Structure 1
Amino acid sequence: MTEARLRRVELCAVLAWQAPGGGPGSRTSCGVPVLALCRSAAADRLREVLDATFGGRTPPVTLTGLTVRGTAGAALVDVARDPDDLLVVGAGPRGPLRRLFRPSVARYVLAHAACPVLTVPPSPLRAEYEAAHRRNSWRLPLDVRELA
């Protein structure tokens, strides 16, 4: 946001979505009503995220929201076509299992974007939050006498 304010440009928040099943097979397996429902759910989710981000306040820059059907990396590259655009993506957590099943959006964008790309590393507080969450919900104390 600071970058958009300094450049005096519009900020476009993009949410990529896919139909149930995700891949190319979902193009024919879902009917029009299902796709319309998915598109509407994506728009609702983007509104929720932006409302939570700004807490009902007006953003300090011009802000637009856009939902795009497709994978995140391809959608972002498609939206930011102009060499004067700046694409900002989060690097996200990249554990070994996640790398195996989900390709890196940041890596895809860096390889394919026609504009400069700014990658933002995950917050150092994220690891602490996840560790505390795992610690508090991994094993709940269970009193076997309550089961009888």
Structure 2
Amino acid sequence: MVAAGQVVVGVSGSLAGLAALRTAARAARSSGRVLVAVLAWEPPEGEVLHARNSDSAWAARCAREAAARLDRAFEEAFGGTPSVVRARPDRALCRLAAHPDDLLVIGARARARRAAVRRQVSAHARCPVLTVPAPAFARREYRALCRATARDFAAG
């Protein structure tokens, strides 16, 4: 039986975002819904300042970086083709998951900016919202990961 609606997941490349992506894929597979993975972005200076002093080369570079970040996250989770949207994350996700039969999946991180996205999505979503926490690490492991460099992961 195929469920109506789609499963929309916000992807950021964080551990919580990767956990949300995997959870959303399982939910889509088990319900027969379409999986829509989205990374929303805005110019670093914001849309208002960008509109006042538009630089199309800068915006194109930001879009390429967002697409590359989403591709890396999707590839790390399981491979496939995701979508990049130029918009505030909360607005983009709520717009894509606009039907009551949809399911919106987001990762839960402790950072204030992402907490704001989570609050806005929870307040404005027209469908159920599933919040997936980041995997838990022991404090010592977490500190070691934060101090790690690319050299630490290179094949020796």
Q: Same fold (TM over 0.5)?
A: yes
Structure 2 regions of 5+ residues with no counterpart? 1-24, 149-156
Q: Deviations over 1:26-52 (max 9, x none)?
A: 233232222222222212221122112
Unaligned 5+ segments in structure 1 are 57-62, 138-148
Cα pair distance change 1:19/1:84, threshold 3 Å: same
What is the CA–CA distance in structure 2 between the aligned matches of 1:28 and 1:3, rounded to whole Å?
Answer: 42
Does 2:137 match 1:131? no
Give distance in 1, aligned partners of 2:49 and 2:71.
28
Q: Which position in structure 2 is the counterpart of 1:122?
A: 134
2:36 corresponds to 1:12: yes
For 1:45, the aligned partner's letter is: R
Aligned to 1:142: none
* Sequence identity (%): 39
Q: Which 4+ runs in 1 deviate beyond 6 A?
A: none
User: Structure 2 vs 1, CA of residues 126 and 38 (structure 1 numbering), >3 Å: closer, same or farther?
Assistant: farther
Q: How does 1:46-125 map to 2 (within 5 A)?
A: 46-54=70-78, 64-94=81-111, 98=112, 104-125=116-137
Instruction: Please provide the CA RMSD for this pair.
Output: 2.4
* Alpha-carbon distance in 2 for matches of 1:12, 1:103: 21
CA contact (8 A) 2:109 2:115 kept: no
Segment of structure 1 superposing worse, 122-131 or 16-25: 122-131
TM-score by length of 1: 0.71
Q: How many matched pairs?
A: 124
> How far 1:14 sits from its partner (Å)?
0.5
Q: Please name the residue that 1:40 is paired with.
A: 64
- CA distance in 2 between counterparts of 1:35 and 1:82 reads 31
> 1:4 and 1:90 mapped to 2: Cα distance?
16
Are the counterparts in 1 of residues 42 and 87 from structure 2 also a CA contact under 8 Å?
Answer: yes
SS in 2 for 1:118: strand
